[in-house]
Chains A and B, each alone.
Chain A
Amino acid sequence: MNDVNTTMVDKYRNDFLKEVEENVEEGHWVKMCMQCGVCSGSCPFGPHWDHPPQEIFMMIRAGKRDEVLTTESMWMCTSCYNCIVRCPRELPITHIMHGLANYAHRLGIAPKMNPTRRFSAIFWNNITKTGRVNELALSLKLYFMDGFGNGVKKALAMKKVGIGMIKTKRLNPLALVNHKGVKNPKELHTLIKKAREIEDRRKGLAS
């Protein structure tokens, strides 16, 4: 168990709901769920969830901290907003799902190999490095995420699309070495660091 996680476990002991309310984006809505299940039934990825949203809310109330934070379920959310639109209690379920995923990730207990989590991390690192997405680097990183062989296979499969994009100047092969970021990425890094500090302080995540 990593340090932040231990801290939070100690801090909230049995009260996982409170932990969620205080640390997860829109987490204070969890208590409003009335277990009707319309969100679970509305999710287009529904069949792939181990625990659909309404069940996750119940698990949170039941204090099932590890099961919730380590599940891959909320990483399934594609932000279609069906659940939000239909929820009779107006819970911002999409945001709560992302909030939970993010929280688990911050605690370092999110499923390491979950593709959505890995993609998110790659994307984040890519965009924060220069302030602009380097699409070519992002694509390559994603292709080779599961090893060299897989990467080559995926790249070959996408060859036609890639060439087409280069021809229509949608993709610049030189971006690998010559990516244009924002004017002063250092300032951006400072800014992000500061934002992180503020958030951590607010949520008590600072170590």
Chain B
Amino acid sequence: MSENKTAVYVCKGCGIGDRLDTDQLANIAESEGKCSLVRQHDFLCNADGVNTIRNDIDSEAVTHVVIAACSRRAKTDAFGFDDVAVGRANLREGVIWVRPDSEEARETTQEMADDYVRMACAEIQYMKQPEANQNAGTHKTILVVGGGISGITAAVESSKAGYAALLVEKSGQLGGWAAKLHKRVPNSEPFADPQDTGVHDLIKLVEDDNNITVFLNSTVTRTSGAPGQFSVDISAESGDTVTENVGSIIQASGFSNYDANQLPELGYGKSPDVVDQAQLEELARQAGDGPMTRPSDGKEIESVVFVQCAGQRSEKPGHLPYCSGHCCNTSIKQAMYFKDTNPDVDTMVMFDDLRTPGNGEDFYRSAQRKGVIFTKGKAQQVDAANGQLQVNFRDMILDEDAVANADLVVLATGQVPNSGVDIEATAAADAEDESAESESAAEDTQEVSVSVDSILNLTYRQGVDLPHLRHGFSDSHFICFPYETRRSGIYTCGPVRRPMDIAQTQEDATGAALKAIQAVENAVLGRAAHPRSGDLSFPSFRREGCTQCKRCTVECPFGAIDEDEQRYPVFNESRCRRCGTCMGACPVRVISFENYSVDTVGQQIKNVDMPDEFDEKPRLLVLACENDAYPALDMAAQQGLEYSAFVRIVPVRCLGSVNTIWITDALNSGYDGVMLMGCKKGDDYQCHFVRGSELAHERMSKIDDTLQQLQLEPERVVTHEVEITDIHRVPTLINEYAAKIDEIGMNPFKGF
């Protein structure tokens, strides 16, 4: 490695040259920033400007580049130099666009720009162009856990792209629930009739594919490692265990049927002629194309009532609060089983809201054409009397109580995800045991859970399975990035993510296969996966300084850090998503990234020119999340919204990476206040590192003690949740805060 050589380029375009003394900026870079090569340019992002930088890199051996021009979010095409470390001093969106162009503002505006150049020069000294993790794995095989339709699809699609797959199925055969279906809901024009499930063709594909290895009667009994280098034990019922190396994992553990025994009011368990949808599939398969008969006495079924939302969409204890999505179409399909065999069988679907989205509407119409009757009604009670079932219900249209007689009643019950152990509830329960507090029992643990066996048996410090979201489904970011789980290289698909039907499951499994492939491709190159895809840095850790406090291992949103026997953290670089939460957590600051560290930020904070108390120029530090708050600030600037010249804004990867040392150092070195801007936390979190904002809020809530020790007002440190659209709000927050600090008065530590 050759020596560092830093070059600073000060752009004069977009009004920077008119509004600021760029010579002074260049001088600061040279003298204070100690940068050997400093150039000014009228229009840095044009071809000439870019070539100038390029030439310096190539012929002057420049290794570190500071671009003092516009926001780091702007002109990325022009300033994308992949082979050097690049820092940006934001003089346009960060300074001139947020300040009035007036004589009285000139001095403070220039001071702002001066500081941003100082800060950028300081940051770059501590930045290294990251080199990829040398411990990257080499394995590209994909492990698929679950041999139902989602798992099979994931394996087949992975193989089609050229990746070997291991398919582990708990039972003795592939196919899962789909293989137990008589037929499936159609997925092609004219969406009119039930169609063959296609499961057997899929199973055949698996069996004929040398690239897919199937383990039946087997479960995953241990998973360790990281993307590109997972090691898994696959144990057969017989007790035989093999250990395999895989690059990534798809969890397709599917669902279990809701236990209809919890619905005695709907007759389940009281009469064998009340069945759930799964049992009806069995009856249909037994009957083949012939008429179905009643379980109780073998009488040919002449009338059926389907009760939708049985034990679903209900707040009652033991019921599922959500909608399982597929059941309306499934009941329609099952009613067609009867109608297609004998049009004279009475079939009634009793629903609250009929939910047949997309082309399901065609299927609904087709059923009506076949004579299936749809009644908007609420089933209240199912009784057996005189060899028949009586469904007592409220007819919502005719607004009256009514009774429907039927030979058979089918309850459309829901899907319960097989998401393994609820590790957060377990952790909470453990914590509860430790602290002997009894009131924090999570409500969610009351919910129906069918399986408490672990699916993956992860050897991770944070627990054996993926974290759950509401209602026990596996976690995901849900809207923009539905595949992102909180365990790198492990993706879920199918009904374990959310309730779904076969068509959606297959689509979902195909997408999950892509993510699994992407994970191994990134892992073998030592690169980060989403959302910092391509980032070659990884956390490095100075063991000597570590106090084994466990904060990093507990707080990592992605479970990337384990502990060794001596309770030192063990970083699994390939599991890391580079959010820096560990860095923020560490009280002794022994964790850092090559391109982002306690120093790269800390030095920026230190390297401002701190006016003394009597200058009446306070300094306010703003640490802004780079995904939401910082773009909002940029856009406020674009709109010409002004804010105080006393703030110095430092973008951070995630508020979770904010180390409290930055706050205390800032206050110790004379800043009059510190403001944190992170994104929305809580259940509907927007934080793309899941818990970053939440953790920052927690940490800041504890900083009051420190402030009191310093005899500083707690109001000097504030934390805000900011959305990317808060374009008007962010300058207001800053200005109100500046006014508040003005009220409180200057920090007495100035000049010490």
- A residues at B contact (CB < 8 Å): 15, 17, 31-32, 34-35, 54-55, 58-59, 61-62, 89
Cβ contact of B375, chosen from A55, A61, A89, cutoff 8 A = A61
- Given A58-B397, A58-B398, A34–B374 Cβ distance below 8 Å? yes
In the assembled complex, 5 residue pairs joining A and B whose CB atoms fall closer than 8 Å, in A order, are A15-B346, A32-B365, A34-B368, A35-B376, A58-B395
Chain B residues with Cβ under 8 A from A59's Cβ?
398
Are B365 and A35 interface neighbours, CB within 8 A? no
Q: Which of A17, A35, A59, A62 has the most CB of B within 10 A?
A: A62
Query: Is B369 an interface residue when CB atoms closer than 8 A count as contact?
Result: yes
**Shortest Cβ distance from B400 into A: residue:** A62
Chain A residues with Cβ under 8 A from B375's Cβ?
58, 61-62
Are B365 and A62 interface neighbours, CB within 8 A? no
Are B373 and A61 interface neighbours, CB within 8 A? yes
How many B residues touch A, CB cutoff 8 Å? 15
Chain B residues with Cβ under 8 A from A54's Cβ?
397
Chain B residues with Cβ under 8 A from A35's Cβ?
374, 376, 397
Inter-chain pairs besides A31-B369, A55-B398, A62-B402, 9 sampled, C-beta below 8 Å = A15-B346, A31-B373, A32-B368, A34-B354, A34-B368, A35-B374, A35-B397, A54-B397, A55-B397
B 388-424 to A, binary, CB cutoff 8 A, 1 in contact else 0? 0000000101100010000000000000000000000
**Shortest Cβ distance from B346 into A: residue:** A15
B 348-372 to A, binary, CB cutoff 8 A, 1 in contact else 0? 0000001000000000110011010
A55 to B400, CA, bound (A): 13
A89 to B365, CA, bound (A): 9
**Shortest Cβ distance from A51 into B: residue:** B398
Are A31 and B371 interface neighbours, CB within 8 A? yes
Chain B residues with Cβ under 8 A from A55's Cβ?
397-398
Chain B residues numbered 247-269 whose CB sits less than 8 Å from any CB in chain A: none
Chain A residues with Cβ under 8 A from B374's Cβ?
34-35
Are B368 and A31 interface neighbours, CB within 8 A? yes
Q: How far is the CB of A57 from chain B (nearest CB, A)?
A: 9
Q: How far is the CB of B323 from chain A (nearest CB, A)?
A: 19
**Shortest Cβ distance from A62 into B: residue:** B398
Are B373 and A17 interface neighbours, CB within 8 A? yes
**Shortest Cβ distance from B354 into A: residue:** A34
Q: How far is the CB of A20 from chain B (nearest CB, A)?
A: 12
**DSSP class of A's interface residues: helix, strand, loop or mixed?**
helix
Q: Which 5 A-B pairs have the closest CB atoms?
A: A58-B397, A32-B368, A61-B373, A31-B368, A35-B397
**Shortest Cβ distance from A33 into B: residue:** B368
A32 to B402, CA, bound (A): 22
**Shortest Cβ distance from B369 into A: residue:** A32
- Given A17-B373, A34-B374, A62–B368 Cβ distance below 8 Å? no
A61 to B404, CA, bound (A): 11
Q: How far is the CB of B369 from chain A (nearest CB, A)?
A: 7
Chain A residues with Cβ under 8 A from B354's Cβ?
34
**Shortest Cβ distance from B376 into A: residue:** A35
Chain B residues with Cβ under 8 A from A61's Cβ?
373, 375
Q: How far is the CB of B132 from chain A (nearest CB, A)?
A: 59
Q: How far is the CB of A55 from chain B (nearest CB, A)?
A: 7
Chain A residues with Cβ under 8 A from B376's Cβ?
35
Q: How far is the CB of A2 from chain B (nearest CB, A)?
A: 27
Chain B residues with Cβ under 8 A from A32's Cβ?
365, 368-369
Chain A residues with Cβ under 8 A from B369's Cβ?
31-32
Chain A residues with Cβ under 8 A from B397's Cβ?
35, 54-55, 58
Q: How far is the CB of B614 from chain A (nearest CB, A)?
A: 75
Chain B residues with Cβ under 8 A from A34's Cβ?
354, 364, 368, 374
Q: How far is the CB of B535 from chain A (nearest CB, A)?
A: 52
Q: How far is the CB of A177 from chain B (nearest CB, A)?
A: 54
Chain B residues with Cβ under 8 A from A58's Cβ?
375, 395, 397-398
Q: How far is the CB of A33 from chain B (nearest CB, A)?
A: 8
A28 to B570, CA, bound (A): 72
A198 to B374, CA, bound (A): 34
Are B395 and A62 interface neighbours, CB within 8 A? yes
Q: How far is the CB of A29 from chain B (nearest CB, A)?
A: 10
A44 to B683, CA, bound (A): 50
Q: How far is the CB of B618 from chain A (nearest CB, A)?
A: 64
A58 to B373, CA, bound (A): 10
Q: How far is the CB of A41 from chain B (nearest CB, A)?
A: 14
Chain B residues with Cβ under 8 A from A31's Cβ?
368-369, 371, 373
Chain A residues with Cβ under 8 A from B373's Cβ?
17, 31, 61
Chain A residues with Cβ under 8 A from B371's Cβ?
31
A35 to B396, CA, bound (A): 11
A55 to B396, CA, bound (A): 11
**Shortest Cβ distance from A32 into B: residue:** B368
Q: How far is the CB of B355 from chain A (nearest CB, A)?
A: 13
Q: How far is the CB of B377 from chain A (nearest CB, A)?
A: 10
Q: How far is the CB of B366 from chain A (nearest CB, A)?
A: 11
**Shortest Cβ distance from B375 into A: residue:** A61
Q: How far is the CB of B118 from chain A (nearest CB, A)?
A: 67
Q: How far is the CB of A27 from chain B (nearest CB, A)?
A: 13
A58 to B348, CA, bound (A): 12
A89 to B369, CA, bound (A): 11
Chain B residues with Cβ under 8 A from A17's Cβ?
373
Q: How far is the CB of A19 from chain B (nearest CB, A)?
A: 14
A43 to B105, CA, bound (A): 70
Q: How far is the CB of A17 from chain B (nearest CB, A)?
A: 7
Chain A residues with Cβ under 8 A from B346's Cβ?
15
**Shortest Cβ distance from B348 into A: residue:** A61
A32 to B365, CA, bound (A): 7
**Shortest Cβ distance from B395 into A: residue:** A62
Q: How far is the CB of A11 from chain B (nearest CB, A)?
A: 14
Q: How far is the CB of A128 from chain B (nearest CB, A)?
A: 37
Chain A residues with Cβ under 8 A from B368's Cβ?
31-32, 34
Q: How far is the CB of A72 from chain B (nearest CB, A)?
A: 18
**Shortest Cβ distance from B371 into A: residue:** A31
Q: How far is the CB of A13 from chain B (nearest CB, A)?
A: 12
A55 to B368, CA, bound (A): 17
Chain B residues numbered 337-354 whose CB sits less than 8 Å from any CB in chain A: 346, 354
Q: How far is the CB of B405 from chain A (nearest CB, A)?
A: 9
**Shortest Cβ distance from B397 into A: residue:** A58
Chain A residues with Cβ under 8 A from B402's Cβ?
62
Q: How far is the CB of A43 from chain B (nearest CB, A)?
A: 17
A15 to B347, CA, bound (A): 12
**Shortest Cβ distance from A61 into B: residue:** B373
Q: How far is the CB of B390 from chain A (nearest CB, A)?
A: 14
A35 to B375, CA, bound (A): 9
A195 to B364, CA, bound (A): 38
A34 to B369, CA, bound (A): 12
A147 to B400, CA, bound (A): 41
**Shortest Cβ distance from A31 into B: residue:** B368
**Shortest Cβ distance from A54 into B: residue:** B397
A61 to B368, CA, bound (A): 12
A15 to B371, CA, bound (A): 12
Q: How far is the CB of B191 from chain A (nearest CB, A)?
A: 16
A55 to B402, CA, bound (A): 15
A70 to B365, CA, bound (A): 30
A31 to B370, CA, bound (A): 9
A140 to B365, CA, bound (A): 49
**Shortest Cβ distance from A21 into B: residue:** B371
Chain A residues with Cβ under 8 A from B395's Cβ?
58, 62
